[in-house]
Amino acid sequence: MKGFILLALAVFAALQTVESACSPCRTMKWVNCDGAPCTCQITLDDSNRPAIDCEKLVSKCFLMKAEMYRRKMGQDVRINIGGKPHEDAIMDNDGIYNPDCENDGKFKAKQCNNTDECWCVNSAGVRRTDKGDKNMNCSKLLNGGSQKLDLNKIVVYYVDEERPTITMQYLTGGIIAVIVVVVLVVVLGLLALVSAQFKVKMPKSPA
């Protein structure tokens, strides 16, 4: 009987340890899980460590901010940061920056990358206006990225509800020349098509 009680106590103690053990975060490896009850925190900068739910995906704004911090601290980050990691990879138009996040992990509508140059982003943190000074106003955060897209060799992977207001000021002469050539080819093709149809119809008309 004594042995049984001891055994029961041992099993109980073992179960307690298992319960209080803090398992690592399943969705994110840059997260520290600690304490009882177990809390998981992501480090965004020296004093900002919000708790996150490891049953859900970490918000992109938190991920980008954590990555910028790790880069600053010389810790490991994704390979080829800012560049295109793989031929088929998905990439935002501007690459990574140090974002300002809301407490719930959403992107703030205006982003400045810790500089005086700012721009407005959509909900995926992708720039959708020209860059301006730090007084520029970004009214609302547009929802991007709910559409289903074929993800093969896609460069910008969101479609906003409204057109972005990025102007073509950075288009180089080369790209403009290519556009002109493409337009010319299309026009010439249409002309050829029309004249071919005209020729086919010609013999019929005298009858």
Ligand X SMILES: *[C@@H]1O[C@H](CO)[C@@H](O)[C@H](O)[C@H]1NC(C)=O
For residue 177, the surrounding DSSP H or E stretch is: helix 173-201
Given a contact cutoff of 8 angstroms between Cβ atoms, the answer to whether 66 and 96 are in contact is no
Residues 87-116 close enough to bind ligand X by CB under 6 A = 94-95, 97-98, 113
Instruction: Name the segment binding ligand X (CB under 6 A); options: 30-38, 131-139, 156-164, 171-179.
Output: 131-139
CB of 33 to ligand X, least distance (A): 29
Measured distance CA(117)–CA(94) in Å, rounded = 14
166 binds ligand X (CB under 6 A): no
CB of 67 to ligand X, least distance (A): 11
Q: Which two tokens stand for residue 183?
A: 């337009």
Nearest CA among 67, 76, 130, 121 for reference residue 96: 67
CB of 91 to ligand X, least distance (A): 12
Instruction: Name the segment binding ligand X (CB under 6 A); options: 31-39, 99-107, 129-137, 178-186.
Output: 129-137
39 binds ligand X (CB under 6 A): no
Residues 134-153 close enough to bind ligand X by CB under 6 A = 135-137
Total residues contacting ligand X (rule CB under 6 A)? 8
CB of 136 to ligand X, least distance (A): 5
Residues 6+ apart with CB under 8 A from 28: 42, 52, 54, 57, 58, 63
User: What's the Cα-to-Cα distance from 194 to each of 1, 180, 184, 200, 202, rounded to whole Å?
Assistant: 101, 21, 15, 10, 12
DSSP string over 15-83 = HHHHHH--PPPSS-TTEEEETTTTEEEE-SBTTB--EE-TTSPPPHHHHHHHHHHHHHTT----TTTTS
CB of 102 to ligand X, least distance (A): 19
Nearer to ligand X, 45 or 53 (CB): 45
48 binds ligand X (CB under 6 A): no
CB of 125 to ligand X, least distance (A): 10
Residues lying near ligand X in the complex (CB under 6 A): 94-95, 97-98, 113, 135-137
